[in-house]
Chains A and B, each alone.
Chain A
């Protein structure tokens, strides 16, 4: 019988805590997560870390139960070491270390951004994509070059998800606002020109956000604001993605992160891929957001490449850059 490696991955970089179990064959056995929902929107780091500490053990237990395995079946623990909010990372790392010590199994430290890409590659079977990673806290265009994942472009101020949430709050919508903006935009008919800010392969959303708020105070219809914001914000993102494809000459475009759930964004990026004869894949909803399965999968990749970390050296890295990690499993 061929032995299978079973990995429990813990994700807790921001407002979500997740536990996922994967095998080295790429099967997701279980993937449980919970997102801190605040009435006001926004995340307070301490509040989020308390959420992780309080719900974490229960989510982990549920994850193991759903995978129909026992604690002793777990071969290794992987955790999100960074980048993210310090208190959240520390709460998550503490649970990971405790389990690794208690079960006496290896611990592996995973970069959150890299994990998003690799789980997307597993799902899409892509070999070497340009990745557009869009979420509440991140807006990055990443590609593999010279044994590292390198950020070719990113936001110079706020992340796209954050921009949509702040806009939603101003416009009196709930949190997260992204899905509401998407629905309202379908009824938009008049386009209002908003600041379109692309700098090299970077972009900026703060000017557009301010202008959109101003439209609201001038009494412009919500649907038209949402429509104009989506077309402008996604257009900028498409442009930097296209620049990255033209520059790297890669033939695959991967869309991931929580904002990947947006259908209009997907449609626009499909257009970019088509123009460059590249394949396109949007990561499925359950693997696009922050969750533990991606951490578990990346942990397995690292473990198979011979990398583990000692508990005593597993301090969290809130500012861990994507290009600071050696990608041992790719050449």
Chain B
């Protein structure tokens, strides 16, 4: 068993079962949280992630398949996707390739939104680029169904925020390509959501 990531939310292990590599995602107990909140969140997010990985796939978003889930220990066993986190290779790509991948990122978010689902944490850390430059979306623990324009606007706001804090030197071309992919997919349905995104950015601090 090999630890491949220690995130804020979980530990990701690479395991070998049935003669193939798989991912075991474990949401650990957080000792600093009040225990009721901690156990409710872990149970909710583990269950939700399983369901949403499948839902997303039915909407056309590539996601790892789930093999089993344990709602007591808060673990999920799923496909291991051979590839690299998008975040890690952004700086190594040509601008054409980068725009292409961001465009695809925008399309995938649009597929989810068209099905009234928001990802909840749409960052370049939660995308895996495989050897054929296909994008896989992971980490659906914060995703939600029955999404409203407001929720979709928040999703895009988070996406922009992630680009600006993580890829500040490439933010302009990445955001442009991502929103293009998004708008081309959703067409006029994108307008309300995009203007909501801009509105949300202005809230939260007093002016």
Contact = CB atoms under 8 A, between A and B. Distances in A.
Given A154-B205, A155-B204, A245-B8, A202 B32 contact: no
Interface string A152-184: 111111110000000000000000000000000
B161 interface: yes
A170 B111 CA distance: 42
A200 B142 contact: yes
Nearest to A238: B32
Query: Looking at B8, B41, B155, B169, which has the most chain A CB atoms within 10 Å of its CB?
Result: B8
Interface stretch (B17-25, B88-96, B120-128, B179-187): B120-128
Interface string B1-45: 000001111000000000000000000001111101100110000
Nearest to A194: B37
Interface in B128-175: 142, 154-155, 157-158, 161-162, 164-166, 168-169
Given A200-B120, A200-B162, A275-B32, A319 B207 contact: yes
B205 A137 contact: yes
B205 A275 contact: no
A242 to B, nearest CB: 4
A14 interface: yes
A150 B171 CA distance: 13
A145 B169 CA distance: 11
Contacts of B169: 146
A151 to B, nearest CB: 7
B206 A238 contact: no
Contacts of B7: 246
Interface string B94-134: 00000000000000000000000000111101000000000
A135 B30 CA distance: 25
A202 B154 contact: yes
A315 interface: no
Contacts of A83: 205-207
B161 A202 contact: yes
B32 A268 contact: yes
A180 B37 CA distance: 23
A200 B122 contact: yes
B168 A146 contact: yes
B165 A137 contact: no
Contact of B204 (A146, A154, A242): A154
A67 interface: no
A245 B30 CA distance: 15
Given A155-B204, A198-B142, A242 B168 contact: no
A297 B165 CA distance: 26
Contacts of B71: none
Q: Which 9 A-B pairs have the closest CB atoms?
A: A271-B32, A200-B158, A246-B8, A231-B34, A242-B8, A243-B8, A146-B168, A155-B204, A137-B206
Interface of B: 6-9, 30-34, 36-37, 40-41, 120-123, 125, 142, 154-155, 157-158, 161-162, 164-166, 168-169, 200, 202-207
Given A84-B206, A137-B205, 15 more contacts: A146-B169, A150-B168, A151-B165, A154-B205, A156-B154, A158-B204, A199-B121, A200-B142, A200-B161, A238-B30, A268-B32, A271-B30, A272-B32, A275-B31, A319-B202
22 contacts: A84-B206, A143-B165, A148-B168, A150-B164, A156-B200, A157-B204, A158-B204, A196-B41, A199-B154, A199-B158, A200-B122, A200-B162, A202-B154, A232-B37, A238-B30, A243-B8, A243-B9, A245-B8, A246-B6, A246-B8, A274-B32, A323-B164
